[in-house]
Amino acid sequence: MKKLILLVLGIVLTSCLTAQSTTIKAPKLSPFQKTQTKIGIVDVSLEYSRPSMRGRKIFGDLEPFDKIWRTGANKNTKITFSDYVVIENVQLTPGTYTIFTKPNPDTWDIYFHTELDEYGVPDIVKPENIVAKVTVPTFKLNKDVETLSITFDNMTGNSAMLGIAWERTYVSVLIQIPTDKILKKILKEDKISLAKKYATSAYIYFDLEKDNKKALEAINNSISIRENGITFEELLKTADLRDKGLLANYSMKSEILIDLNKKEEALKYANRSLIIANKISNEWWIKHNTKNIKDWSND
């Protein structure tokens, strides 16, 4: 019995060791790094793989001068911005970009690129896919940086330097945050959201609760937010009418007014809605408003 127990224990221990050995993975030569930070009010995410020198000469040898480099190993280096940023006076929209570089002894070209291939530099780097190209000076370090490091340096309330260091070379590019532009965009989005809520309330009052007084008050609030103190004529010249917000608001107001026996004012807003519908070539709204105007004019 004692021999049997020892045999069983031996099998179990062997199984455990075998299971452990199968889960041990060799370390990657170029480990993946993901860095998430916030520059001002913008969330930034950086993904890249970090090769090491391992006794090799890097720039001018492993990575030739005057040749575009993926700026890392394995998958291409990518950076993602949650909102607008400015790269050395070039504005980038929110989104993800690949970072390519062209090292030279005294300067580097740094490219922010929209083509998100997973591996390597595209065979042809199309100019239309380069959204920003910056030439920056190199700085010589007094000791080796063994493993490629891409960092966010000199962080301030609305800027940071994107630094690239490897071997004895360091380069950096300025990232700035256009805070005023972003805040204005947020404020505009908030206003549009509020206008939509007023319009939804107007529909509920008008169509479901049959309370025309409250419906008119709600739709007037929605229209006031969208017009923002600009005359109808100016709106047609300057406003972005593609979201159809004002078009729908004017049409709803016309239908509320006709229920309130205010035909002349109802026709005015139905005509405004029709003008916008024609401007953006929206067939459904053209037919809808044209029918209302015809029906009400014949009453």
Domains and CATH numbers, the chain: 32-177 (no CATH), 180-298 (1.25.40.10)
Q: What is the DSSP string of 178-243?
A: -HHHHHHHHHHHHHHHHHHHHHHHHHIIIIIS--HHHHHHHHHHHHHHHHTT--HHHHHHHS--TT
Can you give the pTM of this predicted structure? 0.63
C-alpha gyration radius of the chain: 31
The DSSP 8-state label assigned to residue 58 in this structure reads T
For 170, other C-beta atoms within 10 Å of its C-beta total 18
Q: What is the pLDDT of residue 124?
A: 66
Q: What is the pLDDT of residue 190?
A: 83
Q: What is the pLDDT of residue 5?
A: 44
Please tell me the total number of residues recorded for the chain in this structure.
299
Q: Give the pair of three-digit tokens for residue 229.
A: 């103190």
Q: What is the pLDDT of residue 268?
A: 95
Q: What is the pLDDT of residue 24?
A: 57
Q: What is the pLDDT of residue 167?
A: 96
* pLDDT by 10-residue block (mean), the chain, 299 residues: 45 48 64 93 94 94 92 93 90 93 96 81 78 95 96 92 97 92 81 88 89 93 89 82 86 95 95 92 93 90
Alpha-carbon torsion angle 184, 189, 195, 199, nearest 10:
170
Contact 225, 195 (CB under 8 A): yes
Burial of 12 (0-12, 13-18, 19+ CB in 10 A): exposed
Q: What is the pLDDT of residue 218?
A: 92
Alpha-carbon torsion angle 160, 166, 171, 176, nearest 10:
-20
Q: Give the pair of three-digit tokens for residue 135.
A: 């030439």
Residue the block writes with tokens 């860095």: 35
Rounded Cα distance between 98 and 115, Å, is 7
Residue 110: helix, strand or coil by DSSP?
strand
Q: What is the pLDDT of residue 25?
A: 61
Rounded Cα distance between 217 and 202, Å, is 8
3-state helix, strand, coil in the chain (%, to 5): 40, 30, 30
First-to-last CA distance in the chain?
106
